[in-house]
Structure 1
Amino acid sequence: MTTSRIIQVGSVPMGGGSPVSIQTMWDKPVSIVDDSLIAAVDNLNRKGCDLIRFALPNLQAVDQLAPLLKKTTMPLVGDIHFDYKIALKAIEAGFHKIRINPGNIGESWKIEEIIAAAADHGTVIRIGANEGSLNTSGEWSASARSQRLVEAAEGNLEIFERKGFRDIVISLKSSDIDVTYLSNKEFRKHHDYPLHLGITEAGPLIPAIVKSTIGLSGLLKEGIGETIRISISDSPEYEILAASELLTNLGLKKGRIKIISCPKCGRTSFDTHGFLESIKEELNTLPLEASVAVMGCSVNGPGEARHADLGITGNGKQVLIFKQGEIIRREDICSAKEAFLEELEQLRQEFSS
């Protein structure tokens, strides 16, 4: 298996053994960079997003988004189709990476101008192929389709390699799990470009998470894939949280809380769902590599979650907070959240000292 070369996307190293980076795409048109946009982007960063992509449908969109480059530390990616002038302007503005489809940019001289500008500015280019742009004739098996996907990506690479441009990320994406797996595995055998993984058009929240987990886990376990997007027909926040959870459970991402919680049942004396909802921002943004349990009753509390670094459960009108199975505080329900967050911060300090 070919090892990926390393490239630098702004402050984020990609490939060469670097941590797998997480990305999403902003889901609304942007007319102005205001405080709410900056806060939302920074919040995604705190939740695990390493770089974020914005659609640049016209030249005006570049001007509208360019101020964000100086307002956030997260690398920005410009998504461009059809007009090579948009790509040139995005590169000049300082976007750290652009995504183009060489097939819809047009004549080769336009692509060559993009390559020259990217080389001058240190801009990374993402190219690749998806099944929507492939010839549908021929055998329709997963292996045959994956081979056509690889050939399409290699065809897109030709002009870049001819010009000696190597700061490239490749994506081979399909809504089919098997095609995605086979095409990326085959491509990695022959090329060392960092791979952008994703199951494209994966659907709404639950189907998308299931399909993406099945489709990407095998590749990631084999060391294939340098950056990922969990494509979900829902909020970008869910894409980030799903990707972070996947990488954390595969042992590929550090510094995140692992949440242990039980579903409700007839024994429930503590509203696990409501409590989790009330502290989800802290759990999703606190830089802490620890296990945290939110359990519904004393049966599943300190007993089944004994190994948790910090946990909480209910017992009648009383709430119990425990560390590795040992009860350390008893609180009324009205003071439970404040007490638990105090212990969570104390745990962070202990782990960072």
Structure 2
Amino acid sequence: MRRISRAVTVRNLTVGGDAPVSVQTMSTVNPSSTTEAIADVKRLVGYGAEIIRFAVPDMAAAKGLERVVRASSVPLVADIHFDYKLALQAVAGGIDALRINPGNIGSDEKVAAVVDAVKKKNIPIRIGINSGSLPADILNTHDGHPTAEGMVEGALRHIRICERLDYKNLIISLKASHVPLMIEAYSLLATKVDYPFHLGVTEAGLLREGTIKSAIGIGTLLHQGIGDTIRVSLTDDPAEEIKTGRLILSSLGLRHFGPTLISCPTCGRTQLELIKLAKEVEAALEGIEEPLKIAVMGCAVNGPGEAREADFGIAGGNGKGLIFSHGNILRTVPEAKLVTGLLEEIHTYLENKH
């Protein structure tokens, strides 16, 4: 059962409530380079990004956001630390959301100025707590180490500042690089507030390790019904973050982004180049939006039966192979024509359906 959270609107996208869990990423381009930033937005949207965040280190970046926002088909978030003037400029330029911690931008007057500005335009703020940057006083009360309780305390500190200013248009994140700590922190805060959550394992690492850590951390919480928007943080092209995020949601059955490929591991019974074949099928499925389950099996004896839940599949062996659907064999073809034969069956099905 999904955790009940309040709905927050980010431009034309709803985060929280009963809205689908959205996938976001962060551009590596400085928005002061507006042409490059706009191009990067279009590229990332093409991969499926539904929210894109930009770091705003200085006023040139804050001012550059205005053109980027106007050119973007998806909501953009300005990531700002310490300088409230950058937040005010981003809001004036039409930004869709801020990632800022109210307690870190100075006096009460500065916080009030930012809150007043976002209130007027119905712009949400994401409060982001990272385990590695908790205030010293919180760390000192928790033996000098980040804990789930300390992270929640840090989040509540910023939340209360906003609530005192009668502002509750908030999204909260509690990121840690240690997966169990991240899971524990979000789970604890979920019992205390009803704000929507942005899930992520921060500093997750390179593609392989980062994907595994993110899938475990984000996936565990989503399976428990916790989480409303996600970012997979990888030391890689942001496009990989989007792909991984979508795969996590697809694997849990929460969203469907085109075909899902299932394939068996290689073994001694395999009589064809299974890895190569699976990669060819994966590439051939790009561009198909129908949420089909496609199987690539290495054994013609057991393949159709083991993958009987697949909409379509292929199973090969010794120079020829089978094309099947829901466990029923459609035809036998030479091994070299397995992929083209599979695509013919898929496209015929799609044409008849639509």
Q: Deviations over 1:160-200 (max 9, x none)?
A: 11121111101111122232222222212121111111111
Q: CA deviation at 1:331?
A: 4.3
Amino acid at match of 1:87: A
**Counterpart mapping for 1:38-187 below 5 A:** 38-45=41-48, 49-134=49-134, 135=136, 136-140=139-143, 145-187=147-189
* Corresponding position of 1:287: 289
Compute the displacement of 1:252 (Å). Answer: 1.7
- In 2, Cα distance between the equivalents of 1:272 and 1:97? 46
How far 1:51 sits from its partner (Å)?
1.1
Aligned counterpart, 1:271: 273
Cα distance change on mapping 1:119 and 1:328 into 2, 3 Å: same
CA distance in 2, matches of 1:67, 1:314: 53
Report the CA distance between 1:245 and its aligned residue: 2.1
Corresponding letter in the other structure for 2:8 = I
CA deviations over 1:283-340 (Å, ceiling 9, x no partner): 4553222211122331353232232101123333334322122333444555544443
Does the 8 A contact of 2:204 with 2:233 survive in 1?
yes
- Counterpart of 1:13, as a letter, is T
Q: How far is the alpha carbon of 1:65 from its aligned partner?
A: 4.2
Q: How many residues align?
A: 348
1:53 alignment partner, SS class = strand
Q: Distance in 2 between matches of 1:94 and 1:102?
A: 20
Q: Corresponding residue for 1:309? A: 311
CA distance in 2, matches of 1:67, 1:248: 34
Give secondary structure in 2 for the equivalent of 1:189: coil
Q: How do residues 12-51 of structure 1 correspond to structure 2 at under 5 angstroms? A: 12-29=13-30, 31-33=33-35, 36-45=39-48, 49-51=49-51
CA distance, structure 1, for counterparts of residue 154 and residue 27 of structure 2: 27
TM-superposed CA distance for 1:146, in Å, is 1.1
From the superposition, tell whether residues 2 and 300 of structure 1 become closer, same or farther in structure 2 (CA, over 3 Å).
closer
- What is aligned with 1:241? 243
Tell me the equivalent position of 1:204: 206
The amino acid of 1:69's aligned partner reads V
The more displaced of 25-34 and 194-203 is 25-34
- Structure 1 residue 6: deviation in Å? 0.5
* Aligned partner letter, 1:85: K
CA distance in 1, matches of 2:54, 2:307: 42
With the length of structure 2 as denominator, give the TM-score of the two structures. 0.87
Instruction: Report how far residue 76 of structure 1 moved.
Output: 1.4
**What's the TM-score once normalised by structure 1's chain length?**
0.87
Checking the alignment, whether the CA contact within 8 Å between 1:33 and 1:65 is kept in structure 2 is no
Per-residue Cα deviation, 1:28-82 (whole angstroms, up to 9, x for no partner): 445233585354122222xxx3212121222222344433334342211121123
CA distance in 2 between counterparts of 1:88 and 1:293 reads: 51
Q: 1:278 to 1:36 in 2, by over 3 A?
A: farther
CA deviation vs aligned residue, 1:1-39 (integer Å, no higher than 9, x gap): 972111111222111121111111123445233585354
Quote the Cα distance in structure 2 between the aligned partners of 1:347 and 1:254: 18
Distance 1:27 1:338, change over 3 A: farther
Tell me the secondary structure at the aligned position of residue 128 of structure 1: strand
Alignment partner of 2:264 out of 252, 262, 265:
262
In the TM superposition, residue 140 of structure 1 has moved relative to its aligned partner by 4.8
Q: Aligned partners of 1:277, 1:71: CA distance in 2, in Å?
A: 35
How far apart in 2 are the matches of 1:347 and 1:12? 33
The SS at the match of 1:159 is helix
Contact 2:27 2:40 in 1 (8 A): no
Over 3 Å counting, the alpha-carbon distance change for 1:112 and 1:213 in structure 2 is same
**Cross-structure match for 2:5:** 4
Whether the aligned pair in 2 keeps the contact of 1:52 and 1:74 (CA below 8 Å) is yes
Q: Which amino acid is the alignment partner of residue 43 of structure 1?
A: G
Q: Secondary structure at the match of 2:140?
A: coil
Distance 1:58 1:139 in 2: 34
Report SS of the residue matched to 1:224.
Answer: coil
Amino acid aligned to 1:105: I
The answer on 1:221 being equivalent to 2:223 is: yes
Structure 2: gaps of 5 or more residues: none
Are residues 2 and 41 of structure 1, via their aligned partners in 2, closer, same or farther at CA, if it must alter by over 3 Å?
closer
Aligned equivalents of 1:316 and 1:93: distance in 2? 63
Deviations 1:201-247 (A, max 9, x none): 12222322322233233322232211111222222222222222222
SS in 1 for 2:309: coil
Task: Give 3-state SS (helix, strand or coil) of 1:259's partner.
Answer: strand
Match of 1:345 in 2: 347
Deviations 1:86-140 (A, max 9, x none): 2122222222111113343222222222111111122111013222222332445
CA offset at residue 156 of structure 1?
Answer: 0.8
Percent sequence identity over matched residues?
Answer: 37
